Structure 1
Amino acid sequence: MIRTLFVEDEYFVRQGFIHSLPWAKYGMRIIGEADNGEAALEFLRDHEVDLLVTDLTMPIKSGLELLHEAKTLYPSLPAVVLTCHRDFDCVQEALRLGAVDYIVKTRLDSEEIEQSLNRIRERLAERAADASRASAGLVLVPLAGAEEAWRDRVLHACRGAMSELPAGAWFLPEPPGAEWERVAGEAASAGWAAVQVTGHRQEDSRTVKELLSAYVTRAFPYRWAPRGGMLKVSIRDAKQSAAAKTNSAEDMAEIAKHWRSYGWVFEEAEFKDWLTLVQDREPPLAKLRPLVEEAASGWAMSEGMRTAGLKLREERDFMWETWTGRLTDARGCLLRRFASLHHSREVYASALRSLDVIREALKNGLNQVEVARVVGLSRSYFSQVFKDTFGMSFNEYVRAYSISNARKLLIQTSYPIYWIAEQSGFQDERYFSRVFRESTGLLPSEYRIRYAGIRGGKSESGLESV
């Protein structure tokens, strides 16, 4: 839908237009209203708008003044003006400022107004197509197995006119020969995702790079889908989106709260609501990824969950569509395990929450009595519930998790052994080394040397249900 802002100073006229015209029939949706140009600019600063419909004669800031400022601030934003017959000269000025059409207030019979809306829709479609063909750039994002040789060939063809972005991505302001469709097609076969970029010619290169860097690291993983067609992003939308994402800490707190309630395990509606919440908020991956990956690893580490069909699979990319499928499968495994037990939902959720407590308190040392207290169960009952749910005792699980954590840190970091021991819940380095050797057959230093080659390119763990 074309997100439309309607600006008119007379209240009843404004409400009449908003509620009487068949906007939806022509692909438009009124997302906001304002009674003067200044209020309209405030709305534009905080919302993503595709079409501005404005009266010309208004107090505080007129429609022409609004169009002047909008052209400077949002050069790709199309506008339609509302006018009376006597405003002809103003209409001409508005069209010179980039307005795509006008609606005459005194001609509101059904047939004529529908002709106007249809004409506006067609002109917006033509404008979008022309802009895409004339000035589209590409962001190339590497996926698993991406061919660097192909990227190097494109870089050579562009004569170096590419900007490097985070996560190994690249921005091509103008693909070779301006043939972005051909380059995008080649990208898919070479293991790269292509995102069409518009509006970058109206911004300075530094701002474009900052906005696209934020898009690659934050929005792209939530929007990309293997079979979803090419993604598109306009710099104007990226700018407005970046300005709107100012409450990431609050968003992440809400996401984590719903996740750790574990009500979504039992209620499909809650699970879908949580997935939608994540998709809408697009939290930073540095916050969301540990929440779901560490929980998934913790489940699959237990014998009980493996019995229910849960196991680990190495995965490099964190793409939300892929993880939605994996979490859906994981939820099925959690439900199968629950069905095999004779505990209430509340008790089962407490057992799942205990794994969160173990992960968070690992480096401070773990006491089964304290964990039981945190999840609301007596020590003896918690001990039985834990073993029933996970197929291993509390101490067996903590030891397995500690060694797993240590192995990850040995491969992924260069920190000294004593630090890794502390982070894995061991206060004595010698005792840690002995336990680690009993579990892996190698001392921590030997393990690091043997597997040092994987550091930096190691895949992260994902879930696979079998």
Structure 2
Amino acid sequence: MIRVYVVDDEKLVRRGIIGLIDWERYGMEVVGDSGSGEEALRFLREKGADILFSDLEMPGLSGIPFLQEVRRSFPRLQMVVLTMHQEFELIQQALRIGILDYITKAQIEEENADAFMQGVRKRYLEVERHYQRRERKVEKESIYVWELPDFSQAQAVARELEAQGFVFELLNETSFLFPCTIRPGLLQSIAGRFDRERSTLLEIREVAGVPYERLENALQTTGKRRLFQDRRPGEYCYAYAFPELLQEQEGCTREAVLQLSLEMAFMVRDQDYEEGMARIRTAALSAEERIAVFYHFDLHWAEFSGKDISRYFEETGHFLWWYQWREWFDEVRGLVLHSIEGTDAELATMEELHRAMNYIREHMDRDITLEELLRLTGMSKSHFSRKFKNLTGKTFVTYLNDLRIEAAKKYLTETRQPIYWIAKQVGYADERYFRRIFRERMGDNPRQFRENHQK
């Protein structure tokens, strides 16, 4: 059990806090309480505790000086601050000292106290694991690590493993560590019953003597990136030597990915495409950054691919592994290639038109003239206008207005900004002209559209 000590100078408040929380539910027990900082320090020196719940304002030693003394005398003791109000400056000082969390006394009586206490327990266990792992090293030459996608599945797995008599320990709340003496076939059969697409069973060799903390850090950083690249459909078991997991692979930046994926050569030449895919595969991007960056790729090629970009997040939101992204890239590329089949001269024209469309999209918040686009592409007015309409089905002016109206629709439905502000953001200096163009295209004026569609 996690031992809790409560200190508050008001006895009734102290008794109320102790009585209102179902401590056993969170694996905790109250081992003592007092009304002063001095008394609390005496108890902690004599008997100790794991978590201190402390008021910030008490007679004698209290507040920040009390927390500082506790941290100095008992560096491993975790602290939770109780306060009457959310005093910003005091709370900030307490957080810098290293408290787990803080809560107002009024909140303890509310329903959200359960979520708070669950969070306190989780953070306490994380800190404890950190202390323990600083001193522990892996003893076996090889181990198994089973990574689950979420806490609820990890709980179900823990019950299954306990029922089967497996020897294991938690590496974190969603990862289990097993000695390599375990029968791999039996472990794999159990792992195969729990979300094979999102969970992973790893055999890690050459790991003896590695600190637990270093192992977990490697799995969460370079190991996670390695698995993202290596994962294959239907395969959830992978084996690595620990030194492999420490090797950083050189990958391009977010900006380089964007630049690369927008080049016509990348799309139309097989060698350029494969070389580009290899660089994108190892790009230093988080899952969230990947979704954001590749959205721009989808957006910039939409005129050629014909894909409905409004479905992008629905299509890609569940992607976890590189092979899923690779299949998606291949699909987009196939659609683009189908739409721009032709001679090298024709492909050169398509590249200039693509550059023009990207330029329009990036600068639609200001006046753009046809002359600008002619200078950008080096094409004559008649040639540009004919080819542009053949590709988009629209004149330059219609294409620009449609882009602006689509952007305005997003602002109207996703923000509360005033109409004049939105008009300016999408390139209309004259609000009345914007309202007229919007109504012509949408049937409603901007205010009516917002009322009918705002999320």
TM-score, length of structure 2 as denominator length: 0.51
* 3-state DSSP of counterpart to 1:397: helix
- Displacement of 1:262 in angstroms is 0.8
Match of residue 203 from structure 1: 211
Query: Counterparts of 1:448 and 1:208 in 2: how far apart (Å)?
Result: 52
Contact kept, 8 Å, 2:200 with 2:236, in 1: the verdict is no
Larger Rg: 2
Equivalent in the alignment of 1:107 = none
Q: Relative CO higher for 1 or 2, CA cutoff 8 Å, sep ≥ 6?
A: 1
Cα distance in structure 1, aligned partners of 2:152 and 2:286:
30
> Which residue does 2:146 correspond to in 1?
138
Q: Which runs of 5+ in 2 are unaligned?
A: 1-136, 163-168
Residue 387 of structure 1: how far off its partner (Å): 1.2
Tell me which residue corresponds to 2:417.
416
Q: Residues 197 and 429 (structure 1 numbering): CA distance in 2 closer, same or farther, change over 3 Å?
A: farther
CA contact (8 A) 1:200 1:234 kept: no
Q: What's the CA shift string for 1:166-221, capped at 9, x where partnerless?
A: xxxx434459x9775245312335x524252634983343x555444435875554
**Does residue 1:181 correspond to 2:188, yes or no?**
yes
Separation in 2, partners of 1:328, 1:202: 41
What SS does the aligned partner of 2:193 have? helix
Q: What is the root-mean-square deviation in Å for CA atoms of aligned residues?
A: 4.6
The separation in 2 between residues aligned to 1:365 and 1:200, in whole angstroms, is: 65
Secondary structure (helix, strand or coil) at the match of 1:137 reads: strand
Deviations 1:19-70 (A, max 9, x none): xxxxxxxxxxxxxxxxxxxxxxxxxxxxxxxxxxxxxxxxxxxxxxxxxxxx
Matched-pair contact (CA < 8 Å) for 1:188–1:194: no
Change (3 A) 1:248 1:346: closer
Closer/same/farther in 2, CA of residues 248 and 265 from structure 1, 3 Å limit: closer
**Which letter maps to 1:237?**
E
Of the three residues 199, 213, 223, the one matched with 2:230 is 223
Q: Are the equivalent residues in 1 in contact too, given 2:408–2:423 (CA < 8 A)?
A: yes
Amino acid at match of 1:153: A
Change (3 A) 1:334 1:424: same
- Superposition pairs of residues 84-233 of structure 1, within 5 angstroms: 131-132=141-142, 135-141=143-149, 150=153, 153-154=156-157, 161=170, 163=172, 170-173=174-177, 180-188=187-195, 192-196=198-202, 198=204, 199=207, 202-205=210-213, 207-215=214-222, 218-232=225-239
| Equivalences, count | 302
Cα contact 1:383–1:393 (8 A) shared by 2: yes
Paired residue type of 2:175: F
Q: CA deviation at 1:402?
A: 3.3
Q: 1:421 to 1:270 in 2, by over 3 A?
A: same
1:239 is aligned, of 235, 240, 246, to 246
* Structure 1 segments unaligned to the other structure (5+ residues): 1-74, 77-97, 99-129, 143-147, 165-169, 454-466
**In structure 2, do the counterparts of structure 1 residues 151 and 359 end up closer, same or farther at CA, with 3 Å as the change threshold?**
farther
Structure 2 residue aligned with 1:338, among 317, 340, 351? Answer: 340
Once structures 1 and 2 are overlaid, which stretch shifts more, 209-218 or 351-360? Answer: 209-218
- What percent identity do the matched residue pairs reach? 20
Written as runs of structure 1 = structure 2, the 5 A alignment for 1:12-27 is none
Per-residue deviation, residues 299-338 of structure 1 (Å, max 9, x unmatched): 33x4x753xxx55543113443233223323333323322
Give the alignment partner of residue 373 of structure 1, picking from 367, 372, 375.
375
Give 1:353's match in structure 2, choosing from 352, 355, 380.
355
Instruction: Please report the TM-score for the alignment, with normalisation by the length of structure 1.
Output: 0.50
Alpha carbons 1:196, 1:230 under 8 Å: kept: yes
Distance 1:386 1:182, change over 3 A: same
**What one-letter code is carried by the residue in structure 2 that aligns with 1:272?**
E
